Amino acid sequence: MLLAITLVSYLGALAIRGWPARARAILTAGILIDLGALIAFKYVNFLSASLERWLGLIPSAGAVALPELNLLLPAGLSFYTFSAVSYLVDVYRGKVEPERHLGHFALYVAFFPKIFAGPIERARTFLPQLGQRVAFPADRMAEGLYLFLWGLFKKVVIADRLGVFVDAAYGMPAYAPTVDLVVAVYFYAFQIYCDFSGYTDMARGMARLFGIDLMENFKRPYLAKSAGEFWGQRWHLSLATWFRDYMYIPMGGSRVAWPRYYFNLMAVFAVSGLWHGAGWTFVVWGALNGLYRWIELVTARLWGRLGGWLPGAKNSPLLGAVRIVLTFHLIAFAWIFFRAPSIAAAWTVITRVAGSLTMLPRMFQAYRYGPELVLSVILIAFLLLVEALDERKDLWERVRVKPTAIRWAYAYLLIFGLLIFGKWGLAQFIYMQF
Amino acid sequence: MMREPMRGRTAIQRGAVFVAVGLLLYGGVFAASESLVYRHALRNRFYAVKNARPEPYDYVILGASHALPLDFADTNSKVEQATGARIINLAMPGAGIVPNRLVLEYFLAKRRTRAVVYVLDSFIVTSRQWNEERLTDVKLMHRAPFDPALARLMVSYALRGLINPLVPLNYITGLPKVNNADRFKPDMHEMEGKYDRVYRPSEREARKRVEYLYPKQLSEDVIAGYIGMFAELSSFLRARSVPLIVVKLPVPAYYAALLPREDELTRRLMSVLDGDVPFYDLTRVGNDERFFFDTDHLNRDGVRNLLDARLVAILREHLAPATAPDGP
């Protein structure tokens, strides 16, 4: 599949440039083949099962059995098909020249650090790096190693540790103690972040050792002050910008009448949800985030006016902190649908927690806090501290100018953190499933 | 202020210093983990051997998880009181012939025993998982104190292809101890917490358990190989004049019925041993369902019943000749 998509996109791009009169038809064919493969492998069973269910609701339709394709989903398919599609569109738009070196192009599609879970690189930033003579200055190598270590730390020490609590609670949400469900909801927000951004940091660190820069995929997402900022500027940026450039803007973006604008937004979020997984939970998760954006747009003028009346409050750190906390809770709430095995299970989590809200303080008082839970909370606090420092000034920029003893201490902290607290051999990366 | 870019040789020198400092720090972490082992270890079999009393034992008990309840809570000391024998239980969960042989050789390198009781299960001859690969389970190494003698033994096993090379590597580097998430918890197998429970039988669970223990397809070559190893274990003991006693402990009838080729495998295992190796099949002795805390492990009442019914008598019987006074 990887070879087929590479060849189709490689030849497609050359054909687009070779036959300008047929460029649009060639582009369409290329996209259909690339995305067709993704649909065949990932969505056919979901679509046929959904259709069967809907047809079953029509009394006259009788029992319907649609065909299924029991194909093994190739690892990283969602990521490299999107890279391939973006390349074809960029060649068509004239933003990038078609790559004539098949080896370079194949490396763009399948560069091993990023193949399983991104970032979804753009050809215009990736391909020019391949032709260059690479130097390996020690500082750059060190930066790559630090990045790799930090990513591994986030995955093995934080994400996989939190995953134990999350899996236990989401495994049987109807029977899990309510406090465990609350803990799981909070922990999952950090688990998925550390899991996914950990992979990205490792990929970026490894690529740097080969002299290649991959794009930054995460920028301290839980410090976002709105859902718009979270999705537009901080979370899974390579996917967010992909949807912006290749779906949202071609649909008209925000430069259309407001009903269409709102529709465009919701469509992008729903499809982005579906990209993550062939299931209704992912669609609901995407739509919920779309709803947050709608609410922000509807209330934007109100907040603007309030800011005008209370100019001091607009930039107050307290208000900023409240907005960060509120945004985090909205995002964490949406993650319930992302993590739960079904909508019914997600609903069980929500109703059980909501039904015990007033009793939660007492429940938390009576809760038995094991050392693993305490360690998990300490690690989350450590993560947030690092993120807060990073927000003001890039952490590597801080570290690299420090004396050797401090830089080494930081490296040893990560290495020994991994050795002492790492949860080894437990779980694959969450985003590898997509 | 920008740093000067490092030249190749300087970078290598600094890298070497970084590794050297890292190794020193690791030494400290290793020592701290080792001290925690001595503070919290209890049931780990390698710890038990290293800290065994110097006087000779009467019985070493080997086997897999079915033999573990004989060491839960205060059971071993009760058996010692009832039989007058000194007993050390070295059985490990899921341990086949290879891990049992390893721990036995380690024991015999340091201490003596008058006899070995092997608690037999047929699944141990069906897969590498319970033999060569078993000790790659880091849980079995979490509380294994460092001992050069054991390290040498493990390396020799690895060189002969009897265990995965990861096992000595893990043991010598101490990674399972350094990375032990339960480093401050008492050293007990999770099953010990269920020792007083009475299990409500579930055929589904029993089936899952059997599927876990036995491979889907039993390979004749694999079975023959491990049966041969069992015979070697017997020869190894005979060469040291240590008698071997083989025992099968009770399992519920519904569970026993699910075990594939159980009678045949038991018969073949016993057939390769010398005729004078005593074999006690206690599978059906006190195998009432109320005597188990899960699908196939005896609970406290089950062990008590087994001891009263047969086991104490068996242990006394094999103890008797050697403890008889010498001469007229």
CATH of the domain at B297: 3.40.50.1110
- Count of domains in chain B? 1
Distance to chain B for A347, nearest Cα, Å: 30
Is 60 exceeded by the pLDDT of residue B322?
no
The stretch A89-96 carries a mean pLDDT of: 92
Does residue B4 fall inside a structural domain?
no
The pair of structure tokens assigned to A106 is 């194949």
Q: Do B6 and A419 touch (CB under 8 A)?
A: no
Of the pLDDT bands very low, low, confident and very high (cuts 50, 70, 90), residue A270 is very high
pLDDT of residue A62: 65
**Are A424 and B29 in contact (CB < 8 Å)?**
no
Interface mutation vs chain A, best among B179, B180, B183, most A CBs within 10 Å: B179
Q: Is residue B18 domain-resident?
A: no
Q: Is B249 left (phi over 0), alpha (psi -120 to 50) or beta?
A: beta
Sheet containing strand B279-281, edge to edge, reads: B87-89, B57-63, B113-119, B244-248, B279-281
CB contact under 8 A, B11 and A138: yes
Q: Which residues of B128-157 are buried (b: 16+ CB within 10 A; e: fewer)?
A: ebbbbbbbbbbebbbbbbbbeebeebbbeb
Supply the pLDDT for residue B300: 94
Q: Tokens for A351?
A: 């109703």
Chain B CB contacts of A420 under 8 Å are 29, 178-179
pLDDT digits (tens, 9 = 90+) for A220-266: 999 999 999 999 999 999 999 999 999 999 888 888 888 898 999 99
Q: Taking the domains of chain A in order of start, what are their residue ranges? A: 2-130, 138-428
Residue B30 lies in a domain: no
* Contact residues on chain B for A419, CB-CB shorter than 8 A: 26, 29, 175, 178-179
What are the pLDDT digits (tens) for B21-43? 999 999 999 999 999 989 887 88
Q: What percent of chain B is modeled with pLDDT above 90? A: 70
Pick the range with the lowest mean pLDDT from A2-6, A51-55, B65-69, B279-283: A51-55
Q: In this predicted model, what pLDDT tens digit does every residue of A146-202 receive, in sequence order?
A: 999 999 999 999 999 999 999 999 998 899 999 999 999 999 999 999 999 999 999
pLDDT at A50: 76
Chain A to chain B Cβ contacts (< 8 Å)? 40
Closest residue in A to B33 (Cα–Cα): A420
pLDDT at position A434 over 80:
no
* Residue of chain A nearest B1, judged by CA positions: A401
pLDDT at A7 over 70: yes
Is the per-residue pLDDT at B323 higher than 60? no
B328 assigned to some structural domain: no
Task: Please give the residue range of the domain that contains residue B239.
Answer: 41-323
Chain B from 73 to 112: CB within 8 A of any A CB: none
Chain B contact set for A411 (CB, 8 A):
18
Q: What is the mean pLDDT of chain B?
A: 89
Give, in order, the Cα–Cα distances in Å from B51 to each of A425, B61, B146, B155, B184: 31, 16, 12, 22, 20
Report if residue B12 sits inside a domain: no
Of the two residues A158 and A138, the one the predictor is more confident about is A158
Average pLDDT over residues B219-229: 92
- Could you tell me if residue B27 is inside a domain? no
Torsion angle defined by CA atoms of residues A271, A274, A276 and A282, in that order, rounded to the nearest 10 degrees: 120
Query: Does the active-site annotation cover A329?
Result: no
- Residue B138 distance to chain A (closest CA, Å): 11
pLDDT of res. A204: 93
**Does residue B21 form part of some domain?**
no
| Cβ-based burial of B285 (10 A; exposed 0-12, middle 13-18, buried ≥19) | middle
Identify from B1, B4, B6, B142 which residue to disrupt to test chain A contact, counting A C-beta atoms within 10 A and taking the largest count.
B6
- Regarding predicted confidence, which is higher, A434 or A58? A58
**Tens digits of residue pLDDT in A336-379:** 999 999 999 999 999 999 988 888 888 888 888 888 899 999 99
Q: Is residue B240 assigned to a domain?
A: yes
- By Cβ distance, the residue of A401, A408, A424 closest to B179 is A424
